[in-house]
Amino acid sequence: MASEKGVMLLDFWVSPFGQRARIALAEKGVEYEYKEENLRDKSELLLKSNPIHKKIPVLIHDGKPICESLIIVQYIDETWSDKAPLLPSDPYQRAQARFWADFVDKKVFECGGKLWKLKGEEQEAAKTEMIEILQILEAQLGDKKYFGGDIFGFVDVAFVPFTSWFYSYETCANFSVEEVAPKIVKWAKRCMERESVEKTLPDPKKVYEFVRYLKKRFGIE
């Protein structure tokens, strides 16, 4: 795998983590080769590029692999630094951006998973948790255009892929994101006006189909 020039992304269509990398690459106008992985039959390249976690996304730049979506996004931001800065230049603002992207990482995906995996009281508890998470993020967004302020930034990239899962969360757990976090919904629409986001995010109905497939596979209903 010595110095094969170019950029490749090992990914899976519905993965919000992979979508972060795709959006960042699109914002920067970077040309790359997209390789869809079959997660039930992982490629040699994936296993070789991410031997520790064996997970997507993996960005391979000139033959060198970078793993973990937020680390990939920072790498993209630092390497193609001539346009569309994703992280602010001020150290305090950068620390804030990292904190909130990390918050999204720690909270949203896992809680979202509980919404479609669990039933009854446990699901209710997860719903309460998700509403709290969304409201915390809503408070952080405030009246800003993006989490990054006027500039579409690191936290926006980190969180926006999960917006295509809102329909699934709402349908499985019976609540409305718009009711509990209207600013987040408006922000999501603004993000969708960006080509990078619009071209990357899947149709929420397709995501829901995928969730239903997972439920069947795991015997949940």
Question: Site residues (CB under 8 A) for other proteins?
Answer: 52, 61, 64, 66-68, 71-72, 74-75, 78-79, 91-92, 94-95, 98-99, 102-103, 136
C-beta closer to other proteins: residue 27 or 68: 68
C-beta closer to other proteins: residue 50 or 164: 50
Least distance (Å) between residue 129 CB and other proteins:
13
C-beta closer to other proteins: residue 95 or 125: 95
3-state secondary structure of 114: helix
- On the CB side of 34, CA atoms within 13 Å amount to 14
Do residues 173 and 120 touch, judged by C-beta distance below 8 A? Answer: no
Least distance (Å) between residue 42 CB and other proteins:
19
Distance separating alpha carbons of residues 219 and 216, to the nearest angstrom: 5
Beta-carbon contacts of 119 under 8 Å, excluding residues fewer than 6 positions away, are 220
Least distance (Å) between residue 148 CB and other proteins:
16
Least distance (Å) between residue 204 CB and other proteins:
28
Note the Cα 219 to chain centre separation in Å: 26
